[in-house]
Amino acid sequence: MKILIVGSGGREHAIAASVAKSPKADKIYCAPGNAGIGQIAQCVPIGAMEFDKLVTFAKENAIDLTIVGMDDPLVGGIVDVFEAEGLRIFGPRKNAAILEGSKAFSKDLMKKYNIPTAAYENFDDAQEALAYLETADFPIVLKADGLALGKGVLICNTLEEAKDGVKSIMLDKQFGTAGNRMVIEEFMTGREVSVLSYVDGKTIKTMTSAQDHKRAKDGDQGLNTGGMGTFSPSPFYTEEVDKFCKEHIYQATVDAMAAEGREFKGIIFFGLMLTPKGPKVLEYNARFGDPEAQVVLPRMKNDIIDVVEACIDGTLDKIELAFEDNAAVCVVLASDGYPIKYEKGLEIRGLEQFEGKDGYYCFHAGTKLDENGRFVTNGGRVLGVTAKGADLKEARENAYEATKWIDFDNKYMRNDIGKAIYEA
């Protein structure tokens, strides 16, 4: 088969590596990809939002299956465009990707179908939002409705902060049109867990759990980022939690989408918070998480093409999903200054050290080849260094050991990825 992957980050590298393991994959393309993906796939210089060019490429190259890694093209309707041209593609259609594309939609869905989540109100009007805050309890959480690169959530401790937040989201449009509407919701406490799942419209099969570290600095300090590291499985995702989520969240979400005439096929990523009152949904994403995919996919035993095809064909009930009985940790190597301001074009040394080492992966996020054929940094998050181990402790030691193999100027990482496991 000829497979096209759409996206350019560590997640797409992890997807490509998983696809490359399949005996069914004869040729892999990635649009636009990055330097690391280029080692296992042919990168095609087409942007993820250039749907017409992607369709033309898929037709001219007889692509059998397209897998979309990123949220923007899914929310923008890439699946509808491909399907209209008779092309096979994995991901939710536009009317289902709204599960991630609009937080107001997802909150209303959860309310209507009794799926546990924080209490909330949606607002289209800044003055109404400001008036609402006058009687609210603090801290409180403000969320821009649309996609905002994971940055559209503000946790406000005081009325003043919250008012400023409403102004910057709805009036100053800090997150652009994503802030035309907003959700104001109750602040919850608890540990966060990410559960990714495959969905075929009716059946849902959850993958092994993971936990992200979203803040830039150790001890969950600093700014929110796309994710600085992950571990899988989460020791906090117990059988009891799993049972509750199976009863109240997972299938309920798939059924709710179907009942709304928005059949969901693809990946649903459940961002959960394990609150004192039980697990609640923080957010939905309509794609693999990044860097969650970098710890979950290396542990998956199935042929990813079989699973993806079962989702498209509506036969996921026939698939037995299986994960290795081990653990994985991913430490993101970033350029110091991320997520605000950082240099690009710095030479990356030591990548060859990963060659031939089983259980170690160096997924590229922001890298490219310069004119001399050297690997250089090309983004804030540069690499996702992932290692497996018999348990989380060993996986963590292995991952941090492997971070030493890589060197580039301004290399920055958190030193406490997976440290929480010692509290479990």
Q: How many other C-beta atoms are found inside a 10 Å radius of the C-beta of residue 277?
A: 9
Kindly state the tokens that stand for 369: 């080849």
Is 69 an interacting residue with respect to ligand GLY (CB under 6 A)? no
Q: Which does 141 bind (CB under 5 to 8 A by kind): ligand AMP, ligand GLY, none?
A: ligand AMP
- Decide whether 12 or 283 has the Cβ nearer to ligand AMP: 283
Q: Is 283 in the site for ligand AMP (CB under 6 A)?
A: yes
x/- letters, 186..225, toward ligand AMP (CB under 6 A):
xxx---x---------------------x-----------
Coil/strand/helix, residue 149: coil
Secondary structure string (H, E, C) spanning 113-138? CCCCECCEEEECCHHHHHHHHCCCCC
Residues 172-201 that bind ligand GLY (CB under 6 A): none
Residue of 216, 292, 298, 378 interacting with ligand GLY (CB under 6 A)? 292
Residue 404 CB neighbours (<10 A): 10
* Site membership for ligand GLY, residue 212 (CB under 6 A): yes
12 binds ligand GLY (CB under 6 A): no
- Residue 200, CA distances (Å) to 82, 113, 158, 197 in order: 18, 20, 43, 10
**Binding segment toward ligand GLY, per CB under 6 A, in 54-62, 287-295, 383-391, 397-405:** 287-295
On the CB side of 101, CA atoms within 13 Å amount to 16
Cβ neighbours of 176 (radius 10 Å): 12
The single-letter DSSP state of residue 160 is H
Site residues (CB under 6 A) for ligand AMP, limited to 242-271: 271
Taking CB under 6 A as the rule, does residue 339 contact ligand GLY? no
Minimum distance from CB of 318 to ligand GLY (Å)?
Answer: 28
Among ligand AMP, ligand GLY, none, partner that 73 touches (CB below 5 to 8 angstroms by kind)? none
Amino acid at 135: T
Q: Are 216 and 338 in contact (CB under 8 A)?
A: yes
**Interactions with ligand GLY, residue window 149-168 (CB under 6 A):** 150
State which H helix or E strand residue 256 sits in. Answer: helix 251-259
Q: What share of the chain is helix, strand, coil (3-state, %, to 5)?
A: 35, 30, 35
Q: Give min distance, CB of 424 to ligand AMP, in A.
A: 19
In a 13 Å sphere around the CA of 364, the CA atoms on its Cβ side amount to 24
Instruction: Work out which of 12, 185, 200, 309 binds ligand AMP, going by CB under 6 A.
Output: 185
Binding to ligand AMP (CB under 6 A): which residues in 101-140? 118
Enumerate binding residues for ligand GLY (CB under 6 A): 150, 212, 227, 285, 289-290, 292
Enumerate binding residues for ligand AMP (CB under 6 A): 118, 141, 143, 150, 153, 155, 185-188, 192, 214, 271, 282-283
